[in-house]
Structure 1
Amino acid sequence: MKAFLMLCICSLLLSGCWSSRELNELAITVAVGIDKAEDGIIVTVQLINPGDIQAKTPTNGPSVTTFSIKASSVMEGLRKITTKSPREIYLSHLRMLVISESMAEEGIAEVLDFFARDHEVRTDYFVVVAKNTKASSVLNVLTTIEKIPANHMFASLDVSQRIWAPTRGVKLNELISNLTSEGKQAVLSGVLVKGNVKNAGDMSSISRTNLSTLLNFKGLGVFQNDKLIGWFNEDESKGYNYITGNVKSTLIVIPCEKKEKKHDIIGVEMLRTNVKVTATMKNHKPHIHVDLKGEANVADVECQVNLQDPAVINMLERKTAADVKEKMNDAVEKAQKTYKSDIFGFGEAFYRQDVKRWYKMKREWNRIYAEDLTVDLDAKVQIRRLGTLNNSYMKQMKH
């Protein structure tokens, strides 16, 4: 009897299906867009069309559907959308959170609270800013290669930050950490809608090889606290990623010294970088030293140079390092003098290396960062390989 009672008690702790939901009752949401409204926000969701995704033969319909609704909060918007959608909004497969530029300029902290708090929402999706357009316009664009536009954006941002480097894929946890940090400000990649916005949701827009509407990631948005205050261009964005150690691979274009054509260049592929940031005091003022060391390969030669000559390789290494240093300097100049925002985490560097001194500076860090902080940049690049050709075959062709 004791054993039977014990089994009965233990059975109460076993999981059951009381909270289960059938798949055909859920609207799988892969992207959410937030736009600013006069007295609230506009919530847009991108939902998967299960019939099109599961179809064995191609259909003429889009793979996703979007719904938009005005609300006073994100939670209210997601609930109100059920007046348009026949299924319950399900966020566990979210890939992209798109916030409009006007909303980001007003502040994103309140919007992010729901996504950080809700137990069903995972934090492995990217957060981006819709640049010069509405978030709803971004979610309405249909894409090729990846049938689901949210997956297209996620993959494009992920691969561009790995092999080109002017973008930065920021997930929710990292964004909230930067927003709440006392020594570092946030950045988010910008996404543009290029082409015909009105027809972006028509199937005709993707029924041609030369697409009439494209999604394009361009530039990094600079934040002060939770508000967007400006943008970096492509070179400045690369400079930011160099300083923060986020460059895994990119290409550096070096003009040829002896040009036969106007656009003759040598392409150097940066393979890996190692960055060390040191915080010290010089003349009673805070000082940051950024030391970058990189390894590279020669990727493209469009002029006649002797790559067997060590002097030529040294020249390429110097010019590559100078290009990297210039981009880092442009990023620091704009962030420090124009935006006065410590997006590089120099304050965190002081916290890690001298906690007592940081606590003395942290209340006035924004002013100290903009007025008193000096930054010294150093870059060294070593070319490892020349590719499968020692020299360009164009010289042999000329002979």
Structure 2
Amino acid sequence: MNKKMIGFFVLMSFLLTGCWDKEELNDVSIVTGIAVDPGEEKKYRMTVELVNSPEFGKQGSLGNTPVITYSLEGNSLSELSNKMNVGLARKLIYSHTRVVFINEEIAREGLFGFLDFLERSGHFRNDFNILITKGNPASDFTKITYPIQKSPSLKLHKQINTFLEEWGGDPRVRLTDFIAAIISKGKNPVAATVVLKGDVEKGKNVENNKSLDPEALILIDGIAIFKDDKMLGSIPLKETRDYLWTQKLKHTSLSIPCEEGKVEEQPYFDVRVSRSNTKINVSYKNNNPKLMVKITGETKIQGSECTNDLTKIDVFMEYEKKINELVKKDITTMIQNIQEEFSVDIFGFGEALYRQDPQKFKKQESKWDEVFSKAEVDVEVDLHLLRSGIKNKSFMTDLENLKE
């Protein structure tokens, strides 16, 4: 019996072995960001951003640089990702990569060259953000320190998520989103663009971490428009928010003029969109396509410079009308600008048509972007103004009454 028990425990011990690919922490470096620029002698120049672990420890910072970067040139990202130990001692772990910065020049030439590697490789997760850099080498974006979040890539990852939730100025495009749009029937990809503001060289200094007013910051700038894997151009932040109305916008804030007139001379009232839902489809009349966008949601007033009395129902309804008219105008203008300037469907109207009528879409699939660029646009907005915050009447109304 004892021999049987001993044999049983010996056999069970084989199930307690460790992971076959485990690595000791002292033998690896964690990659949080990657930058890809054109190379001087080879096709690509790849920069990795590595966490300097002691600076992120619970015992507090030692005052050293929070991240370390290293650059190397090669003809493929696959080659470069395995060759970084030319200059680095530890094995690199890429599974914690949060951002891939891509130089605008490379984005315009096409991304097929390394998208396949990033998707196919077992070293990367597919939930990192793709960002297109403008104005500076992509490598610079991995070197700008920040007091609250020391790693540039971790800072951007958090910044993108927060910005989307609070204002809606970033599409939060992950690798899976980008590739899904490339292979989609009737939709082209987009990716956020970022720029550097301030003194870049001072921003790279560890002292930038300790400054009340950082010398340099990475700012979200808008989105890049793609045709398949090639970047065509970009649109600014305001139009990016208008684009996101057609996609996955949850919350945002609007400033609406109280009266008609010159914008710079107008008082405004401010609205918070607390919920929104968007449906897009394509209708046909006499074989002419119409792009349909229907937006519903709820809003509330957060502040007002207007002297109108919101306790009056007609004033309240007029405010709601102004909100809907502004959003409708902005979205319509944005879609028409995309049609005229880029002639590519980044919204997914083609996908919607494919779901509605696969046969009709298949007849136009090869020329869908051309069909999209010439189609009529019809935007319907129904945002309800639920309440005007804690107070109904602004003190501005009382001041106006005192003057009278």
Whether the TM-score (by the shorter chain) exceeds 0.5 is yes
- Superposed displacement of residue 35, structure 1: 0.8
Aligned-partner SS, 2:203: coil
CA distance in 2, matches of 1:206, 1:2: 63
Name 2:215's counterpart in structure 1.
212
Name 1:150's counterpart in structure 2.
153
Name 1:23's counterpart in structure 2.
25
Give the counterpart of 2:85 among 72, 79, 82: 82
Aligned-partner SS, 2:300: strand
- The alpha-carbon distance between structure 1 residues 309 and 49, as it changes in their structure 2 partners (threshold 3 A), is same
Name 2:302's counterpart in structure 1.
299
Amino acid at match of 2:166: I
Aligned length: 396
Aligned-partner SS, 1:189: strand
- The alpha-carbon distance between structure 1 residues 389 and 359, as it changes in their structure 2 partners (threshold 3 A), is same
8 Å CA contact 2:185, 2:354 repeated in 1: no
Name 1:36's counterpart in structure 2.
38
Aligned-partner SS, 1:223: strand
CA distance in 2, matches of 1:85, 1:99: 22
8 Å CA contact 1:238, 1:327 repeated in 2: no
Alignment map for 1:134-145 (pairs within 5 Å) = 134-145=137-148
- Superposed displacement of residue 51, structure 1: 1.5
Name 1:281's counterpart in structure 2.
284
With the length of structure 1 as denominator, give the TM-score of the two structures.
0.93
Name 2:369's counterpart in structure 1.
366
CA distance in 1, matches of 2:58, 2:67: 13
Name 1:203's counterpart in structure 2.
206
The one-character-per-residue Cα deviations of 1:254-307 (angstroms, maximum 9, x if unpaired) are 112299x94521001111111121222211122221111121000111231201
- Superposed displacement of residue 359, structure 1: 1.1
CA distance in 2, matches of 1:183, 1:211: 43
Alignment map for 1:223-242 (pairs within 5 Å) = 223-242=226-245
Name 2:358's counterpart in structure 1.
355
Aligned-partner SS, 2:201: coil
Give the counterpart of 2:49 among 46, 51, 56: 46
Alignment map for 1:327-366 (pairs within 5 Å) = 327-366=330-369
- Superposed displacement of residue 99, structure 1: 0.6
8 Å CA contact 1:255, 1:264 repeated in 2: yes
Aligned-partner SS, 2:54: helix
Give the counterpart of 1:390 among 389, 392, 397: 392
Give the counterpart of 1:126 among 125, 129, 133: 129
CA distance in 2, matches of 1:230, 1:187: 10
- The alpha-carbon distance between structure 1 residues 117 and 6, as it changes in their structure 2 partners (threshold 3 A), is farther
8 Å CA contact 1:123, 1:173 repeated in 2: yes
8 Å CA contact 1:238, 1:328 repeated in 2: no
- Superposed displacement of residue 315, structure 1: 1.4
Structure 2: stretches of 5+ with no match in the other structure: none
- Superposed displacement of residue 5, structure 1: 10
8 Å CA contact 1:291, 1:377 repeated in 2: yes
Amino acid at match of 2:119: A
Name 1:163's counterpart in structure 2.
166
Name 1:255's counterpart in structure 2.
257
8 Å CA contact 1:236, 1:330 repeated in 2: no
CA distance in 2, matches of 1:199, 1:67: 19
Runs of 4+ in 1 over 6 A off after TM superposition: 1-14
Residue 72 (str. 1) matches residue 75 (str. 2): yes
With the length of structure 2 as denominator, give the TM-score of the two structures.
0.92
- Superposed displacement of residue 11, structure 1: 8.1
CA distance in 2, matches of 1:17, 1:269: 50
8 Å CA contact 1:252, 1:323 repeated in 2: no
8 Å CA contact 1:235, 1:327 repeated in 2: no
Amino acid at match of 2:198: G
Aligned-partner SS, 2:310: coil
- The alpha-carbon distance between structure 1 residues 377 and 86, as it changes in their structure 2 partners (threshold 3 A), is same
8 Å CA contact 1:289, 1:376 repeated in 2: yes
Amino acid at match of 1:384: L
Give the counterpart of 2:327 among 324, 328, 334: 324
Higher mean displacement: 8-17 or 118-127: 8-17
Percent identical across equivalent pairs?
28
The one-character-per-residue Cα deviations of 1:296-350 (angstroms, maximum 9, x if unpaired) are 0001112312011111111111111112112211221122111011100111011
Structure 1: stretches of 5+ with no match in the other structure: none
Higher mean displacement: 52-61 or 340-349: 52-61
